Amino acid sequence: DSKLCFHSSFAFGVATASFQIEGAWNVSGKGESIWDRYTHEHPERVFDHKNADVADGSYYKVKEDVQLLSQLGVNFYRFSISWPRILPDGLSNNVNEDGIRYYKELIEELRKNKITPVATMYHWDLPQSLQELGGWTNPIIADYFVDYARVLLDNFGDTVKVWLTFNEPLTFCENGYGGDDAPGGRSSGFEDYMCGHNVLRAHGMVYRMFDQKYRKITKGVMGITNVFPWIEPATTSREDQKAADAARQFMFGWYANPIFSQQGDYPQVMRKAVDANSKRQGFPRSRLPYFTAEEVEMIRGSFDFMGLNHYTTYLAAPGSGKISTKPSYQDDINAIITQKDEWPKSNSTWLRVVPWGFRRCLNWIKNAYNNPKILITENGVSFEAGLHDTKRVNYIDAYLRALHAAIYKDGCHVLGYTYWSLMDNFEWMRGYSERFGLYQVDYESQNLTRTPRLSAKYFSNVAKTGCLPDDYTDYTYN
Q: Write out the catalytic residue numbers.
A: 378
Per CB under 6 A, which region of 94-102, 163-171, 284-292, 448-456 contacts ligand BGC?
163-171
Pick the stretch among 68-76, 165-173, 286-294, 404-412 that binds ligand BGC (CB under 6 A): 165-173
Name the nearest CA neighbour of 218 among 282, 149, 278: 149
Helix (H, G, I), strand (E, B) or coil at 3: coil
CB of 94 or CB of 350, closer to ligand BGC: 350
One-letter amino acid for residue 464 of the chain: K
Q: What angle do CA 109, 115, 117 make, to 5 degrees?
A: 80
Query: Rounded distance, CA 30 to CA 20, Å?
Result: 15
Binding status of residue 427 toward ligand BGC by CB under 6 A: yes
Residue 136 DSSP class: G
> Is the CB of 243 or the CB of 247 nearer to ligand BGC?
247
Candidate residues 378, 384, 389, 424; the one interacting with ligand BGC per rule CB under 6 A? 378
Give the bridge partners for 317, in sequence order: 338
| Site membership for ligand BGC, residue 308 (CB under 6 A) | no
Distance CA 276, CA 471 (A): 54
DSSP assignment, residue 397?
H
Nearer to ligand BGC, 19 or 250 (CB): 19
* Three-class secondary structure of residue 330 per DSSP: helix
Asked whether position 163 contacts ligand BGC by CB under 6 A, the answer is: no
Question: Residue 64 CB: number of other CB atoms within 10 A?
Answer: 14
Q: Closest separation between CB of residue 426 and ligand BGC, Å?
A: 8
Site membership for ligand BGC, residue 420 (CB under 6 A): yes
- Nearer to ligand BGC by Cβ, of 168 and 304: the residue is 168
Residue 168 neighbours by CB distance under 10 Å: 23
**Nearer Cβ to ligand BGC, position 123 or 248?**
123
Residue 384 binds ligand BGC (CB under 6 A): no
Q: Is 17 in the site for ligand BGC (CB under 6 A)?
A: yes
DSSP E strand stretches across 341-449: 374-378, 414-420, 439-441
Which range, of 92-100, 164-172, 285-293, 447-455, touches ligand BGC by CB under 6 A? 164-172
171 in contact with ligand BGC (CB under 6 A): yes
Shortest approach of ligand BGC to residue 194 CB, angstroms? 21
Cβ contact 354:341 at 8 Å: no
Question: What pairs with residue 227 in β-bridges?
Answer: 309
Are the CB atoms for 126 and 83 separated by under 8 Å?
Answer: yes
Residues in contact with ligand BGC, total (CB under 6 A)? 10
Residue 234: which residues within 8 A CB-CB, separation 6 or more? 240, 244, 315, 316, 317, 340, 342
Window 29 to 88, contacts with ligand BGC (CB under 6 A): none
Q: What minimum distance in Å lies between the beta carbon of 370 and ligand BGC? A: 26
Q: How far is the CB of 428 from ligand BGC (least distance, A)?
A: 6
Q: Is 227 in the site for ligand BGC (CB under 6 A)?
A: yes
Cα→Cα distances 380→63, 92, 115, 432, Å: 24, 35, 21, 16
| Pairwise CA distance, residues 69 & 465, whole Å | 16
- Residue 22 binds ligand BGC, judged by CB under 6 A: no
- Which is nearer to ligand BGC, 32 or 168 (by Cβ)? 168
Listed as own residue / partner, the contacts of 429-434 with beta carbons closer than 8 Å and 24 or more positions apart are 429/45, 429/46, 429/47, 429/175, 429/181, 429/182, 430/46, 430/47, 430/48, 431/46, 431/47, 431/48, 431/49, 431/50, 432/48, 432/50, 433/47, 433/48, 434/348, 434/382
CB of 122 vs ligand BGC, minimal distance in Å? 11
Task: Give the neighbor-by-neighbor strand order of the sheet with 337-340.
Answer: 230-233, 313-318, 337-340
Q: How far is the CB of 169 from ligand BGC (least distance, A)?
A: 11
Give the per-residue contact string, 122-141, with ligand BGC (x = CB under 6 A; - = no): --------------------
Q: Of the listed pieces 166-174, 191-199, 269-277, 396-404, which binds ligand BGC according to CB under 6 A?
A: 166-174
Q: Which is nearer to ligand BGC, 71 or 171 (CB)?
A: 171
Query: Interface with ligand BGC includes 168 (CB under 6 A)?
Result: yes
Comparison of 16 and 129: residue with beta carbon closer to ligand BGC: 16
309 forms part of the interface with ligand BGC (CB under 6 A)? yes
Binding letters toward ligand BGC, positions 447-476, x by CB under 6 A:
------------------------------
State the residues that interact with ligand BGC by CB under 6 A. 17, 167-168, 171, 227, 309, 378, 420, 427, 436
